[in-house]
Amino acid sequence: MHLDQDDERILAGEQGETRQKMLELLVALGKVFGAERLVPIKSAQVSGASYKTIGEYGLQWLNTLDAKAVVPAVLNPIGMPRDRWDEMGVSKEFSAKQMAVIAAYERLGIALECTCTPYYLRKTLYGDHLAWSESSAVSYANSVIGARTNREGGPGALAAALVGKTPCYGLHLAANRRPQVVVAVAADTAGWTIADYGALGYHAGKLVGNRIPYFTGISPERDQLKALGAAMAATGAVALYHVADVTPEAQKNRYDLAGIETIPVEGSEIRKLFCDVEVEAVALGCPHCSPEELKNIALLLDGRVVRKPLYVFAAQGVIEANQEIVNDIEKCGARVFADTCMVVSPVMEEYSGIMVNSGKALAYVPDMCGAIARIGSTKECLDVATE
Ligand code: F3S
């Protein structure tokens, strides 16, 4: 693996033990995956930020590190909203541990933006090399933006943030970004919502596994693409997908699809996922809401009274930039929380049934929250929350 003089100096320990160890980790990863070199990255997104997922050993390991990030880096959602943990019902004990994790990352120069939608906060461009780790963010970066990132583990993303580079293999290379399976959707998709696209992703992820799918027969918009990719990354291991005539690489390249397996998907297979089960709470914002989704929730609520717990999740920066809309949502009795989400917060474990508008949440809520998950459109979710 080719390393430049700067890399060699880091490996010799000239920039401290932490950076040395981090580069050793990146080189080892690169060797395992056959990388010929490291590639400079524009940003990093580090998972392993919720105390619920990293626990005491993870916290202790973070506290042994001593270096600063050299590229813009943010965190994945944590177990609670930093400023409103009490209001969300998070225990003092959990809050203290979570704040210790946050403090450890802050010492490492990681910005305390805890979100799976970092692309709403910092411009990420076509062709940018990244080291992101949350699966839906990775899918969006690769597929919707046309940036290049593998799905990094937490330590790999942190190492990349501290060194400013990542091993150049996998989805960093154009040759590995071609479609491997066609998903031919035969359905009337006019009027499909983000929940329909989330359900399609939930279903398709199981069919395609870890291959790169090329969709035909659909025309999703940005938030719908976000929902599709997030769900496919949850039920499958899809880090990149293409949609004919929609996603940037499918628009730019003429892929030769001859000889590639085609999987047909019908609308009835998607509708089957929309079951009517009793729920105790409703949670929106998986992945974290875009400004347009917040606006839509405010419009649909329009002064109605929320009667079941209604949680909305979004990045802190998105909330601050749309504070009036957020105030309108909260006036109806919903709560709009930053930094956390329905899957990583321990609070959601108290409900036995949760309604969501997300295919990814449909996949994760049963295991991560121990609750039955029901999927519906944003409007259906709000109807249930206000009935
Ligand atoms: Fe984001 Fe949490 Fe969903 S990290 S994609 S809101 S499970």
What residues are in contact with ligand 1 under a 6 Å CB criterion? 76-77, 116, 134, 136, 230, 286-288, 313, 341, 343-344, 360, 364
Do 136 and 36 have their domain in common?
Answer: yes
pLDDT of residue 346: 83
Mean pLDDT score of the chain, rounded to an integer?
96
First and final C-alpha spacing in the chain: 61
Structural domain ending residue among the three candidates 174, 205, 221: 174
- What is the atom index within ligand 1 of the atom nearest the CA of 287? 5
pLDDT value at 195 more than 90: yes
> 342: CA distance to ligand 1 center in Å?
7
Structural domain ending residue among the three candidates 174, 203, 222: 174
Do 74 and 143 have their domain in common?
Answer: yes
In a domain, 250, yes or no: yes
pLDDT value at 52 more than 90: no
The C-alpha torsion from 331 through 334 and 340 to 343, rounded to 10°, is -170
Stretch 279-303: mean pLDDT:
97
By the 8 A CB rule, do 74 and 115 touch?
yes
In a domain, 76, yes or no: yes
Q: State phi, psi for 291 to the nearest 5 degrees.
A: -55, -40
Do 70 and 9 have their domain in common?
Answer: yes
Best mutation site among 133, 336, 360, 367 for ligand 1 pocket (most ligand atoms within 8 Å of CB): 360
pLDDT value at 53 more than 90: no
Best mutation site among 116, 120, 356 for ligand 1 pocket (most ligand atoms within 8 Å of CB): 116
By the 8 A CB rule, do 383 and 254 touch?
no
Do 299 and 250 have their domain in common?
Answer: no
| pLDDT, tens digit, 9 for 90 and up, residues 71-109 | 999 999 998 999 999 998 899 999 999 999 999 999 999
Return the residue matching tokens 């899918």: 139
Do 366 and 238 have their domain in common?
Answer: no
> 98: CA distance to ligand 1 center in Å?
17
- What is the atom index within ligand 1 of the atom nearest the CA of 313? 6
Do 38 and 63 have their domain in common?
Answer: yes
- Say how far apart CA 170 and CA 45 lie, in whole Å: 18
> 327: CA distance to ligand 1 center in Å?
22
Query: Which stretch of DSSP H or E encloses residue 43?
Result: strand 43-46
pLDDT value at 239 more than 90: yes
> 185: CA distance to ligand 1 center in Å?
26
Q: Of 20-34, 270-284, 341-355, where does mean pLDDT reach its minimum?
A: 341-355
pLDDT value at 264 more than 90: yes
Question: Would you give the distance in Å from CA 220 to the centre of its chain?
Answer: 18
The C-alpha torsion from 304 through 307 and 312 to 318, rounded to 10°, is 40
Domain CATH code at residue 159: 3.30.499
Return the residue matching tokens 């320990």: 13
- What is the atom index within ligand 1 of the atom nearest the CA of 136? 5
Question: Would you give the distance in Å from CA 240 to the centre of its chain?
Answer: 13
Q: How many domains does the chain have?
A: 3
By the 8 A CB rule, do 204 and 175 touch?
no
- Say how far apart CA 243 and CA 225 lie, in whole Å: 9
pLDDT of residue 275: 93
Query: Residue 189 sits in which domain range?
Result: 178-271
Structural domain ending residue among the three candidates 147, 174, 201: 174
Do 219 and 132 have their domain in common?
Answer: no
pLDDT of residue 345: 86
**What pTM was computed for the model?**
0.96
- Say how far apart CA 104 and CA 109 lie, in whole Å: 9
Do 63 and 121 have their domain in common?
Answer: yes
Do 155 and 69 have their domain in common?
Answer: yes
> 288: CA distance to ligand 1 center in Å?
7
- Say how far apart CA 303 and CA 324 lie, in whole Å: 14
pLDDT value at 303 more than 90: no
Percent of the chain as helix, strand, coil, to the nearest 5: 45, 15, 40
Stretch 269-293: mean pLDDT:
97
Do 47 and 118 have their domain in common?
Answer: yes
In a domain, 276, yes or no: no
pLDDT of residue 215: 98
Do 316 and 365 have their domain in common?
Answer: yes
- Say how far apart CA 349 and CA 368 lie, in whole Å: 8
pLDDT of residue 282: 98
In a domain, 348, yes or no: yes
